[in-house]
Amino acid sequence: MSHHFKEEPHNAITDSGIARVIPCKELDVGDPLKWLSLGLRDLFRAPVLTFFFGVIFAAIPWFITYLVALTGWHLVIMPAIVCFMLIGPFLAAGLYDVSWELEKGHKPSLMHALKAIKRNAVNEWGFGIMLMVLMIFWLRVASMIHALYPSYLDPNNLDELMPFLVVGTAIGALFTVIVFFLSAFTQPILMERKVDLGTAVMTSLNAVWLNKVPMFIWGAIIFTSVLIGFATGFVGFIVLMPLIGFATWHAYIDTIETKRERKYE
């Protein structure tokens, strides 16, 4: 299905004057499934690199959970899931590079993928720091919710735990939505274009805002993948995280406009 080019829409994001906003295309509801199928194709074309990055993605949440088991603080699990979703876009740079190389008809390599982060280094690291600040802020909020939890309540009694679970989940969900808006396309924009962090973030914000329904579906697919990964004891992440990473690159290519047609050697 062909995408429709939108007239340059005016909204609070494009008129803010904070940074330049790169125009986006109007997406179709079925596009997220198309991105997944393209991601799956990349996964089969680069199985070794997929496995390499997949193992890293599986090792990080395993390590978080191992720390939880050491400290015995089970209420850290929800913040840990959100932390993982915050760090995810930053770590995915290598995966985007694999898809980009395949698109150009090149053979992707680990060395090339690891260098990807240096392509727009200052802004890439700025993005990483932004995610880290958000993650630390979320952990502070989570620890405040935990501090408000009275010690005399039985942690095994769901009725007594429910108000804290509801509050924690609601704040976590809101936080995750904000981060999704800010980071949906930021990393691939920074990788492919020599733009500043403000432009990349505002462009991502604008693209998600103007394509709420397809992007909600895409966000739900990512969130479901994270849940499946946790439910399978992180083994699922070995395949699911690279798949989401590859698909995100295709989502970016589909969504954010270029002034000239891309010409790959």
Task: Give residue-wise pLDDT tens across range 184-231.
Answer: 999 999 988 889 999 999 999 999 999 999 999 999 999 999 899 989
- Give the model's pLDDT for residue 43: 96
- The answer for residues whose C-beta is within 8 angstroms of residue 119's C-beta and 6 or more apart is 190, 191
Task: Give residue-wise pLDDT tens across range 83-122.
Answer: 766 666 667 888 999 999 999 999 999 999 888 767 777 8
User: Which range, of 7-11, 37-41, 211-215, averages the lowest pLDDT?
Assistant: 7-11
Task: Give residue-wise pLDDT tens across range 164-173.
Answer: 778 888 888 8
pTM: 0.83
What DSSP letter does each residue of 133-157 carry, written as one string?
HHHHHHHHHHHHHHHHS-TTS-TT-
Instruction: Report the distance separating Cα 168 and Cα 34, nearest Å.
Output: 34
26 φ/ψ angles, rounded to the nearest 5 degrees: -90, 120
- Give the model's pLDDT for residue 205: 95
Token duo for residue 26: 């109007």
- Give the model's pLDDT for residue 247: 97
- Give the model's pLDDT for residue 55: 94
Region 227-243 average pLDDT: 93
